[in-house]
Chains A and B, each alone.
Chain A
């Protein structure tokens, strides 16, 4: 079945540091890929998505590229801020399935 693997957290960075959160997936065909973010005490919200190979999703300075050859969708940001502190979830929606598979989440803490 479909699965998503994220790097273990927590990740602690200083403000303005470069961020990478790794995500790899297993799925048949061409799934849609997502990054969701969860701020403390809130539900998840979409950060960015990509629906086909080589697509780049971007939002709020975050980027991720759909790499079919490496089955990856790594999240990057060039300069993190304290306000980026949250839990980040990688997810996929497989072909023909009525559900989304989520990774276990990576907690990011940005310190001033």
Chain B
């Protein structure tokens, strides 16, 4: 299994508070991704990174920001959480842009 961890695994927060989710890899893969999974929508890409300090938006990036200061870490920040951001968040990594993606175990976020 690819070495990918996500923290925290579960979080409950209140509307309007900032939240940061962390993805850590030990595989030295160049590409890292953040997805959210919601019933009826499958997986939707929030942001991705193609190298240290190189990031770009996905299809549902509003309300989210990311940072990648080291190869192994990719942070997802909700600047001011809203109830619509209640979801399960998955991090993924890949060696190349068309290569297999390896997923972390997910973070379940509840915004009250």
Q: Which residues of A come within 8 Å of B, CB atoms?
A: 32, 34, 42-46, 49, 51, 89, 93, 95, 97-100, 102-105
Contact = CB atoms under 8 A, between A and B. Distances in A.
Given A43-B90, A44-B90, A89-B42, A100 B50 contact: no
Given A43-B106, A99-B45, 20 more contacts: A32-B98, A43-B92, A43-B104, A44-B90, A44-B92, A44-B101, A45-B102, A45-B103, A46-B100, A46-B102, A89-B43, A93-B98, A98-B48, A98-B50, A98-B56, A99-B48, A99-B97, A100-B45, A104-B40, A105-B42
Contacts, number: 49
Contacts of B90: 43-44
B74 interface: no
B41 interface: yes
A35 to B, nearest CB: 11
Contact of B97 (A44, A93, A102): A93
A37 B74 CA distance: 24
A97 B58 CA distance: 11
A49 B100 contact: yes
Interface residues of B, number: 24
A97 B33 CA distance: 13
A95 B97 CA distance: 9
Given A43-B90, A43-B106, A44-B90, A100 B42 contact: no
Contacts of B40: 104
A98 B31 CA distance: 9
Contacts of A105: 42
B105 interface: yes
A100 B88 CA distance: 18
Given A32-B98, A43-B90, A44-B90, A102 B42 contact: yes
B105 A42 contact: yes
Interface centre among A43, A44, A49, A51 (most CB of B within 10 A): A43
Contacts of B105: 42-43
Contacts of A102: 42-43
Interface centre among A95, A99, A102 (most CB of B within 10 A): A99
